[in-house]
Chain A
Amino acid sequence: MITTIARKEFAEIVRDGRFRWTAALVVLLLVTALLAGWQRYAAYSAVQAAAQGATNEQWLKQGDKNPHTAAHYGNYAFKPLGPLAFFDSGITSYAGTAVFMEAHKQNFAIGRPANDTSSIARFGELNGAMILQVLLPLLIVFLGFTAFAAERESGTLRQVLSTGVSRGSLLWGKALGLGAAVAVVVVPCLLVGGAVIAAAGLETAEEGMAARTALVALAYLLYAATFLFLTLAVSAWARNARAALMVMVGFWAFTAFIMPKAAGELAKAAHPSPAFGTFMAEMKAHQRRGIDGVSPFAKLGRYQGQLFRQYKVSRVEDLPLYWTAVRMQKLEEIDQPVFDLHYGKVRDTYLAQRRLQDRIGVVAPTLPLRSISMGLAGTDLVQQSRFMADAEAFRHDMVFKMNDYLSKAAVDLNGVNSASRFMIANEEVFAIVPPFRYEPPAFADVLAEQVPNFALLGAWLAAAVGLAVLATRRMDLEAR
């Protein structure tokens, strides 16, 4: 019975003029978006690999110099993208993809493609995720708003219900038929997209690519089904097809356009992120003041006293370590907690903003979907923070290794003026710093972060189905 109804719905939808132009439009945009995403991804990955290689090479071949100066010369970390980033580029364009790692300073990421584009980019990049988040629900609304309303207006609803078919069967049949019509448009495009990634045979440090892809697909399926049942519910409940269309387009605009922007503003108001200038000024002041109110120079003095007692000496010249290097490393360690505190606060603020936005998903299902999509594609804030943390750990290690080498290798320079000129290291020494490698977070951690969002989407679908069942049960047979 349900398949009979589904087949008839499908035939009717596909024969309608609406289907041809909306399907053509969606296919065109989706294919364009996937190709554009792929092209952007391929170009980015090539540049990223080349740049990381070049910067590693530059580090080694920077020329013989004092190791601490080498740490100043520094190194770059470039964030690699996982294969799913071609489908959802997430915050990549805004968050920065490269970090300069140098002695004494922790830096923000640079390399934000969005900075180099016109304001049109603020509408979001054309990528597959955006099309599915924004246009897929619109396709469902356009193909589905007449489902019950037009049958009521034309009188076929009476005719159909006179046969003794149950309203429940009618609802499930229509849902299946509409779902099939939407799938006919969208699924082939996605299969082509999937085939492109598979054919490219990418290597990635991310684990569980198959599971990630399946979960992303599940999230979009939940989202699409939510819109499908909401559309059927409103079609059954609305005064007429026009009203059903108005209500659903209104809801679509609310969840897919207004809320993603509004939730961002709301989250910013609730958890204000500092301005760049203020942030830097506060951190520098805190650095001078010392994390615990004891100034770095007082700490250095104490440390020197400690070392003198430890080695039972009273002059820098008698220390078995090169004091200038030891001092610089100690300064690094004194500053580290200040950096960690301030950068950590910014990161926590952004994460709090993100979580609040996810919770606003209670009124707009596009929000949790967006988070799941970028989270699993590896292009969200959590992975950006992970990249920044990796870069910071690398920076710390690089500076430590250079200072440590210097402190041991240049003991005889203690007390010599402008000693840095005399201690020259070469490529062999620089090679004790391994090339930068980004370790993406474990799949289980990525997934754990998204569990509440999956729960939200599940709740949306359950509510939509409930509404549809209720609306069809109570639906009027006559146009009002």
Chain B
Amino acid sequence: MLEAIDLRKVYGGHEALQGLNLRVEAGDIYCLLGANGAGKTTTINLFLNFIAPTSGSARVNGVDVAQNALETKRWLAYIPEQVMLYGNLSGLENLEYFARLGGHDHYTRADYEGFLDRVGLQRDAAGRRVRTYSKGMRQKVGVAIALAKQAKALLLDEPTSGLDPKASNEFSELLVQLKGGGAAILMATHDLFRAKETGTRIGIMKGGRLVQELSTDEVSHADVERIYLEHMH
């Protein structure tokens, strides 16, 4: 579903991404681990065509992102560290707006409420302006937007950082649901525990390279931490 082929990105003289090759299939939660500056966010930005690759290709559903930016975005949903919403609109209005922008203008109000129910946003909160929301509530709206979009692939950039353990856990459960629905999920994260717990695969990045890939069912929590730290030294 998501595929990076020899993907390179050079900023000035700095090589942010050095020939990344990566595949995320439907039903996968692929967790990208690595220090800040390892190239995780650059990878996600390339899949969203927010930046142009220096060489190589990022593909969604087999279609090159740089050449068909608007088409490939139809299949994508993006949840950054902080889901950015319009403070003067309610959660419901934000959801409706983003769903419509994504090309889904057939939903009824009940549908939208259904999405917000599924992500666990309180009914009374849904009608309030987003300005009053906690970070966890914003992230839930972000997931509801992904649900409404019926995205085939999700790009998550440290979506749980700063969430309390309960909110973080709820978020992870939503990801597992989405995975069950056949979505391909690529998530940049610092949370080794969640990566092992909810991820199906783990990729460790360092200095713009993918240095190791693991399948989570073949390693323990301790292994993940040990392997990660080995690479960071």
A contacts, CB < 8 Å to B: 1, 4-5, 8, 11-12, 15-16, 154-156, 158-166, 477
CA distance A186 to B83 in the complex (A): 36
Whether B74 contacts A154 by the Cβ 8 Å rule is no
Residues of chain B within 8 A (CB-CB) of A1 are 100-101
| Additional A-B contact list (8), CB under 8 Å, known A156-B86, A158-B80 | A5-B101, A15-B89, A156-B84, A159-B80, A159-B84, A163-B98, A164-B73, A165-B102
Whether B101 contacts A4 by the Cβ 8 Å rule is yes
Give the contacts of B44-101 with A (CB-CB under 8 A).
48, 50, 70-74, 76-78, 80, 82-86, 88-89, 93, 97-98, 100-101
The answer to whether the Cβ of B165 comes within 8 Å of any Cβ in the partner chain is no
CB<8 Å pairs between A and B, sample of 11: A5-B101, A8-B93, A11-B88, A11-B89, A155-B84, A158-B84, A159-B85, A161-B48, A162-B73, A163-B102, A477-B50
Q: How far is the CB of B72 from chain A (nearest CB, A)?
A: 8
Residues of chain A within 8 A (CB-CB) of B76 are 162, 164
Residues of chain A within 8 A (CB-CB) of B74 are 164
Residues of chain A within 8 A (CB-CB) of B13 are none
Residues of chain A within 8 A (CB-CB) of B12 are none
Check A4/B84 contact, CB under 8 A, given A163-B149, A164-B103. no
The answer to whether the Cβ of B225 comes within 8 Å of any Cβ in the partner chain is no
- Describe A's contact surface by its main secondary structure: helix
Residues of chain B within 8 A (CB-CB) of A164 are 70-74, 76, 101-103
The answer to whether the Cβ of B105 comes within 8 Å of any Cβ in the partner chain is yes
Whether A162 contacts B85 by the Cβ 8 Å rule is no
Check A4/B100 contact, CB under 8 A, given A12-B86, A12-B88. yes
Q: How large is the interface on B (under 10, 10 to 19, 20 to 34, 35 or more residues)?
A: 20 to 34
CA distance A154 to B93 in the complex (A): 18
CA distance A5 to B103 in the complex (A): 12
Q: Select A161's contact among B50, B77, B89, beta carbons within 8 Å.
A: B50
CA distance A161 to B102 in the complex (A): 9
The 4 A-B pairs of least Cβ separation, nearest first, read A164-B73, A155-B84, A162-B78, A163-B101
Residues of chain B within 8 A (CB-CB) of A158 are 48, 50, 78, 80, 84
CA distance A49 to B28 in the complex (A): 87
CA distance A15 to B82 in the complex (A): 23
Residues of chain B within 8 A (CB-CB) of A8 are 86, 89, 93, 97
Q: Select A15's contact among B88, B101, B103, B149, beta carbons within 8 Å.
A: B88
Whether B70 contacts A4 by the Cβ 8 Å rule is no
Q: Select A166's contact among B50, B70, B97, B105, beta carbons within 8 Å.
A: B70
Q: Select B83's contact among A11, A16, A159, beta carbons within 8 Å.
A: A159
CA distance A165 to B86 in the complex (A): 17
Residues of chain A within 8 A (CB-CB) of B72 are 164
Please give me the residue from chain A that is nearest to B76 by CB atom: A162
Give the contacts of B157-192 with A (CB-CB under 8 A).
none
CA distance A164 to B101 in the complex (A): 7
